[in-house]
Amino acid sequence: MFSAVSVNTVPCLEELVNLVSDLNVHILMLTDLNFPRNKEETLWKNINPETAAAVKKATLSAFSKKLPVLSVRRWRSSG
Amino acid sequence: MKANIFLLHGYSGSPIDLLPLEKILSGRFPESEIESIQLPGHGNPQEVPSFNEDLYLKTLADKLGLIADPGRKKIYIGHSTGGTLLLRYFRDSGIVPDLLILIGIPADIDISFLERWSIHSDGGKAISFSSTAKLVSFINRQSKLVFETPFPILILNGEEDELVPPDHAFVWRERLRTSSRIVIIPSGKHHLTVSTAVKFCADTVTRAVEDILSGHEPDDMNAASGIAGIEPELAEFIRISSSSCRHIAGSPGGKRAVGREPELFPVLSTEPVFANIEITTRCNLECAYCIRSGRPHPVKDMDKRTFARILDLFPHAYRITLVGLGEPLLHHNPAGIVAEAVSRGRRVGLVTNGMCLDKEMGQNLLDAGLHSIAFSLDAPDQKTADIVRKGSNLERITDNIRLFTRAAKKRGR
């Protein structure tokens, strides 16, 4: 599973993890948005303790469901 | 590693036709011996000698049969009828070349060649009726050549070859059933080596020669084996394309496999081992964050031959991913595209939004040998999906994913 996460969708990331964990996929890959026009909505531009906590909670939830999570480096440092 | 590289011109030509390529090869491989063979009677730019099959083959036997240095790779380059003569010589002699490069060789000659010859020769060189008959007979008799031992063949053809259209290259590939690769040279004419296409042609030739000469260094083999331990499909790819070891070893993953740091800059000396290919511009969604959304896009599917051409341009790319701004499953035959790459030992994956992945599509892709699939899904509910992935149907997508992952699991994937 390949999921792009924005500052707008990060609040429902845990819910997305729950959905994905039920689809028999092997790995969840999380990325920030790309393309310059999306810059203002990226996580790295809007990172704050609340967003970081949401990412961490969702990631831990994935691990608890034995769903491995891959991410790009900057994303990892955000969460 | 050194090589003996032989060049053989076409029937109406002479070594001068291949001189630009010969010079480039001499500069690139100074330790190798490079010889351009002149067929008897050739060399006069105003006259085409009588076609003499026996004499030509005897000349090749005299010139090539004496070379027996086991420490050197033997590489042969034939242009037009020169390529056909080489093929025939190898069949008759049983000699197995390390690499054969065929440039613009006709698969057969029919009446359509009359007009094409007229354009090609531009009224300059006339061929007698007797010679024409012998030439046609010779070329058309080679259509059933069979080789006991396969060897690597690189077939080059000018995209705008006025005498031998690119179709002939594909006929030869089907016919030879050996490890062959076709590269169609953009804007190339029949005399690829004396036209503006010579750089592209020479680059393709020198890369192929480098692959043959570089051999298999222990480090390269270790790196490739290391990755094959993680990706068993790679072992099969290396069996088909042993020269890819060097490129896989030189890739970032290959370097890590033997504990070396990847060096990406300024330019890798090896060729790409991964390729992302967009097979269609079509998409059924208007995703909020996609650069494609809101822009007019011409609707176009890549045809199988173009896809095959891309694979030939990237002979060492063993991992192919069908991905891009278009949704690959909207292509008119995605399973056919997958099968084309899989038949060449490539490991194929794709990225999809899952909308079109119904049961039949899933079965077809699995039958075609699809190795991996990535689903793009950014929303856990339809309300969010309507905002970030406009046009998507979350229920249909999740049903399709479940169906597919179950079917794949049943097949042990």
Q: Where exactly are the structural domains of chain A?
A: 2-78
Contacts of B381 in chain A (CB under 8 A): 12, 15
pLDDT per position as a tens digit, B211-258: 998 877 777 877 788 888 878 888 888 888 888 888 988 888 888 877
Kindly state whether A3 is in contact with chain B, defined as any CB-CB distance less than 8 angstroms. Answer: yes
Kindly state whether B381 is in contact with chain A, defined as any CB-CB distance less than 8 angstroms. Answer: yes
pLDDT of residue A72: 67
pLDDT of residue B127: 84
Q: Do A6 and B401 touch (CB under 8 A)?
A: no
Kindly state whether B399 is in contact with chain A, defined as any CB-CB distance less than 8 angstroms. Answer: no
Kindly state whether B265 is in contact with chain A, defined as any CB-CB distance less than 8 angstroms. Answer: no
For residue B274, give the 3-state DSSP assignment: strand
CB B178 within 8 A of CB B155: no
Asked whether the CA dihedral B198, B199, B200, B202 is positive or negative, the reply is positive
pLDDT per position as a tens digit, B246-257: 898 888 888 887
Distance (Å) from the C-alpha of residue B293 to the closest C-alpha of chain A?
A: 12
- Reading chain B (413 residues) residue by residue, the pLDDT tens digits are 789 999 999 999 999 999 999 999 999 999 999 999 999 999 887 788 999 999 999 999 999 877 667 788 999 999 999 999 999 999 999 889 999 999 999 999 999 988 888 888 876 777 888 999 999 999 999 988 887 778 899 999 999 999 999 999 999 988 887 778 999 999 999 998 877 889 999 999 999 999 998 877 777 877 788 888 878 888 888 888 888 888 988 888 888 877 888 777 767 778 999 999 999 999 999 999 998 888 888 899 999 999 999 999 999 999 999 999 999 999 999 999 999 999 999 999 999 999 999 999 999 999 999 999 999 999 999 999 999 999 999 999 999 999 999 999 999 88
pLDDT of residue B293: 86
Kindly state whether A31 is in contact with chain B, defined as any CB-CB distance less than 8 angstroms. Answer: no
Q: Do A1 and B375 touch (CB under 8 A)?
A: yes
Nearest CB among A2, A5, A24 relative to B376 is that of: A2
In the predicted model, residues of chain A with pLDDT beneath 70 are 72-79
Residues 49-78 of A with CB under 8 A from B: none
pLDDT of residue B256: 80
Residue A31 identity (one-letter amino acid):
T
Q: To 5 degrees, how large is the angle CA A68–CA A73–CA A79?
A: 70
Nearest CB among A18, A20, A38 relative to B377 is that of: A20
Contacts of A5 in chain B (CB under 8 A): 378
pLDDT of residue A73: 60
Q: Domains in chain B, please, with CATH?
A: 2-214 (3.40.50.1820), 218-257 (no CATH), 274-410 (3.20.20.70)
Kindly state whether B376 is in contact with chain A, defined as any CB-CB distance less than 8 angstroms. Answer: yes
Give A51-60's long-range contacts (Cβ < 8 A, gap of 24+).
A51/A7, A51/A10, A51/A78, A52/A78, A52/A79, A54/A10, A54/A11, A54/A13, A54/A14, A55/A5, A55/A10, A55/A13, A55/A30, A55/A79, A57/A14, A58/A13, A58/A14, A58/A16, A58/A17, A59/A17, A59/A30
Residue B286 identity (one-letter amino acid):
E
Listed in sequence order, the residues at least 6 apart from B372 whose beta carbon sits closer than 8 Å to its beta carbon are: B347, B348, B349, B350
CB B373 within 8 A of CB B352: yes
Contacts of A28 in chain B (CB under 8 A): none
